[in-house]
Amino acid sequence: MVIKYLFYHQFVGVDLELHSEPLNVDEITSKWYKETNNLNYGAFITFIGTIREENGIEALSFDIYKPILKTWFEAWQKRAKEQGAIVKMAHSIGDVPINKSSYISAVISPKRRVALDLIDEFVEDFKANAPIWKYDVIDGKRVYAKDRSTPMSGAGILVKESN
Amino acid sequence: MVKVEFLGPIGLDSIEMDIKSLKELSIYMKNSNELKDWAINSAVAVNDVIVTDINYELKDGDKISILPPVCGG
């Protein structure tokens, strides 16, 4: 008998979860759906990020700084709540092979417009400001995806001229 | 003393420094061959809160994090 420890995951805050493996899209999205489908909310929108084959990579790999990810996500929870909506997010830590998912987010709201706008803003701000670092995995080695990375808000403070 | 940690791809171990301001950290990083490029595009957090004022004064025991450019998803 083969025993596989498939599902180590860590809840960093309610509605935010980190997994040390590729994301199980069916399981995560259906869990979120079941958690919220009795709230009388009319819209449930997911964004599922899938690793693409590109430049000969085998996988992408991720590092996450959890304390700031948590505060970044909590600010989004607050912003969503002010509009009557809920945000959810799951991300992988470590290697995720091509055609697997490393990132899922969802916005659930009473009416569609709020969810459609929020998922756009949330995913874009995630790309720009969530403290997550991406690496290409080529021949088993991790190479920082420098060209695709974005300086966070507040970057450059150390080289600013000051009074 | 404060602790400085270099996150993600910077790939250096944390260090303890006897500094009183982020300005001193800036000078240290700009003079380091390994860190000067990261100084240009990294954000800085003190005790896990992003700081945008270079005149920010540090207290004994503060944890400073250097956050290079990000790309989740």
Q: What is the pLDDT of residues B28-70, one digit of tens each?
A: 999 999 999 999 999 999 999 999 999 999 999 999 999 999 9
Interface of chain A toward chain B, CB-CB under 8 angstroms: 49, 62-65, 67-68, 71, 91, 102-103, 123, 126-135, 144-146, 148-160, 162-163
- pLDDT (tens digit, 9 = 90+) per residue, A82-122? 999 999 999 999 999 999 999 999 999 999 999 999 999 99
- What is the spatial distance between Cα A109 and Cα A88, in angstroms, rounded to a whole number? 12
Among the partner-chain residues A129, A133, A153, the one whose CB lies closest to the CB of B8 is A133
HSE of A135, CA atoms in CB hemisphere, 13 A: 20
Residue B72 belongs to a domain: no
**Closest Cα in chain B to A68:** B48
- What is the spatial distance between Cα B24 and Cα B54, in angstroms, rounded to a whole number? 10
CATH at B42: 3.10.20.30
* pLDDT for res A61: 98
Residue B47 belongs to a domain: yes
Burial class (CB in 10 A: 0-12, 13-18, 19+), A87: buried
Q: Report whether A93 contacts A18 (CB < 8 A).
A: yes
How many separate domains does chain B show?
A: 1
DSSP state of A152: P
Give the mutation candidate from A52, A157, A160 for the B interface (greatest B CB count, under 10 A): A157
Give the mutation candidate from B12, B52, B64, B70 for the A interface (greatest A CB count, under 10 A): B70
Domains of chain A: 9-139 (3.90.1170.40)
Q: Report whether A76 contacts A125 (CB < 8 A).
A: yes
* pLDDT for res A9: 52
State how far the alpha carbon of A40 is from the alpha carbons of A27, A33, A80, A110, in Å.
22, 12, 16, 7
Residue B73 belongs to a domain: no
Residue B51's contacts (CB-CB under 8 Å, 6 or more residues apart) are: A154, A157, B22, B44, B45
The β-bridge partners of A89 are: A16, A105
**ipTM score here?**
0.94
- Contact assignment for A91 to B48 by CB distance below 8 Å: no
* pLDDT for res A162: 56
* Full residue range of the structural domain in which residue B36 is found: 2-67
